[in-house]
Structure formats: structure tokens, C-alpha cells
Structure 1
């Protein structure tokens, strides 16, 4: 597929097939993504990928933290509020997903279940975690966004599915301990990776986008 089709057809996958992705293919995805632009070619990204029994072990650790009521402590604080126009988009998405799943996604029980599904990597055989040095300025997080997009597009081009996950950063210290990564690094994002189960109803749902005229202005 060409670049335009890849960007427009990529979607977040929340149900995966259990088959493992060859390590060589996962490496090829990262090898492509590393060509993302970054400020002054700083290339601030560091990647850890977990699979198999180790992935299940990490899942149990994270789910246990939820079950025990451990307070989340992400390296990047979660936003507490949004501008009204952004809040409206979030509400519209949550309403559609609530209708699809038949649950109120704003309820505490639904939030707990959503976290558990995240920590199970939505059934994906691989979990990817993105880190950067904590001494880097906020600007470097922008570079991580570029890298994350490249990972997901490269995976999609290879027939893989992905979903970016913020919830897995809730317990950043525990994730870093699991991988043997020092506290001088910060956990930016998790991405589940695997072969998508395109027959699953949850993967039939597509988000919409605002009209282009709402986000662009031309001055001549």
C-alpha cells in the first residue's frame, strides 16, 4: 500500500490473533520507524518488546496492581481537563463505544475492566514499550509521537495491527523494574502489536475525523 492509504486505513486494533509475530518482522518495524524525524537528530527513543511467558508475567503484575487498588503514578501526568471542543470529541467517542460494548465506559467498573484489557494487551502476543531519558526536555516527547506513529504505520504496512496505550504507563516504575530499565528513563507509551482479528466486532468500529476546514487556515 502507498503512504496515503497506509495513513488513512490504519486503525487501533483491540482484538488480536494469538499467533506470534516473527522477531525479524518486529525488528523490521522498528528499523523503519527509527527513520522518523527528531529535533537535531536526537533520536530519543528506546524500545522494549515483551512476548510469550514474560508478557503474561507482566500482565499479572499490572493487573495485580489494579486489583490491589495501587494508585497510578505515570511518568507523564494524565490531563485533568480538556478545552471544550476537545472534551466534546472525547464524549462523542465514549458514547459510541459505550453503545457498541453495551456498557457505560464512564463507570468505575468499566474503567477497571478497560485497564485490565489494556494490561492483557487486548490479546496481542507482543507488548511494545517506548522510553526516553527523563533529562530530556518536553520537546522530545513530540519526537516520541513521531516515532510512535511511524511504528504503527510500518506495522500496518506489514499486515500487523497495533493500538497505542496510555493506561500501561500508569505503573511506570513497575514496568521499568520489570525490564531492568533505570529510573532515569521515563515511560512514554505502550503499543500492543500482533496480527489483527478483523472479524471481531470491536475491530469493526472506526472513529471519525473533523472536517479539514475546521483545522486548517490558508493565508494568501
Structure 2
């Protein structure tokens, strides 16, 4: 097997885990994940990413803080503006992913209450024992965020290679002020996303489906 085959297998094995077992990931395994992910490329080697990682009671306190904001009906305050819309194929893919999730969870399309309850699971971190909050310097703007996206990808792949499941969550960034205050993250940094992680509940229905990927011919625009 070649190195590209190994990488492809890891890429195909990674999925967004939405049900975790409670046991923690050892510190040394988490350190190995970050040690691998730090090799992600960045503009001018700025390496703008920083991660605040919770464990034990700190994870539970954080999820309770998020739930409190949701329960109060607090308006979202993301540091980065949400997408203005999803159109065309992007809308189709987003809708297909949602339908697959609800079908796996046994939720009817018309069941708005249960769909909202499933969405709210984001703020319980899907019961993961850990969450990593990814931030970058505000002064680097979109380019720091783009570089940090590479780190998020590398983190999730390194975790997969070590048998640790992950889910990258933009939903957590909706409550950036709460995240920043709770974890002591400076105002000079943008809250980009969360990565909830731990060992997967392999029997959970919501972990059984996999999303499709566009073919290379749908992605490449050849010139010359």
C-alpha cells in the first residue's frame, strides 16, 4: 500500500461522530493528535491556530454554559459572519446531509420538535468527553481562519488514525462571547469552531450514515 492509499483510507474513514462513549482520551494521545496537526501548512508559517481543550469536569461545565445560553434564547453572536445563503449544489448537499442524519436518528421530516432537539445536541457536544475550541488572531482575518481550517482537517485526520472520533462544529461559534468568557480566550482572537472528540459509540444509529463526495470531474476546472 502506498502513502496516498493510506491517506485516502484515513480520509474516507473520518466522519462526523454524533454519539460518544464517556471514557476520556489519554493526554498523551491528545498530544499526539496536536503534534501531528501542527504540521498543517499556513501562510508565511504563521501557524495562527490555538486550541483550548477541555477534559473531565471542565467539559461538563462548558456544555452547561452553552446550554444555558440556548435555553435563554440568546441571539447568536459569531465572530465570523454566517454564510448568506446556500444555493444550487451546495444547498442540495446540505439538505441531503440533514435528511441522512434525521433518517438515521429516526426523526420524520415533519417532526420539527425532534429536529430541533437533534440540533440542540450540538451544545451538549454530543456527550463527548472533550472539546477543542479553535481560535486565530483577529488581525489575520479570513486568512488566519483559512489556515486554521487546515489545522482542523489535520486534527480530525490524526485523531481518526489513532482511533479517536471527532466532529467539527461551527454551531459552537454562534456563542463566541460565552466561549471566550468561559475559557479565558482573549478578545484579540476569533472563535472559529469547536471539535468535540472522544471514542465513538459504534452502535449509535446517528454514527451509521456517511455522506457522499463529489467526483474529481465535478471539482476540477482544467485549463490548458
TM-score class, shorter:
over 0.9
Q: For residues 97-151 of structure 1, give each alpha carbon's deviation from its aligned partner in whole angstroms, at most 9, with x where no partner exists.
A: 2222233568763464234311211111101100111111312211011100000
169, 176, 189: which is aligned to 2:173? 169
* Partner in structure 1 of residue 99 of structure 2: 95
Rounded to whole Å, the distance in 1 between the matches of 2:139 and 2:111 is 37
203, 209, 221: which is aligned to 1:217? 221
1:163 aligns to what SS in structure 2? strand
Segments of 5+ residues of structure 1 without an aligned counterpart are none
Aligned length: 220
After TM superposition, the score normalised by the length of structure 2 is 0.92
* Partner in structure 1 of residue 149 of structure 2: 145
188, 192, 212: which is aligned to 1:188? 192
Q: For residues 148-177 of structure 1, give each alpha carbon's deviation from its aligned partner in whole angstroms, at most 9, with x where no partner exists.
A: 000000000111000000111111111111
Cα separation, partners in 2 of 1:180 and 1:5, compared to 1, 3 Å: same
1:75 aligns to what SS in structure 2? coil
1:1-220, aligned counterparts within 5 Å?
Answer: 2-103=6-107, 109-110=113-114, 112-220=116-224
Larger deviation, residues 109-118 vs 13-22? 109-118
Cα separation, partners in 2 of 1:138 and 1:106, compared to 1, 3 Å: farther
Rounded to whole Å, the distance in 2 between the matches of 1:187 and 1:106 is 33
After TM superposition, the score normalised by the length of structure 1 is 0.93
Rounded to whole Å, the distance in 2 between the matches of 1:105 and 1:141 is 34
2:54 aligns to what SS in structure 1? strand
Query: Is the 1:94–1:105 Cα contact (8 Å) retained in structure 2?
Result: no
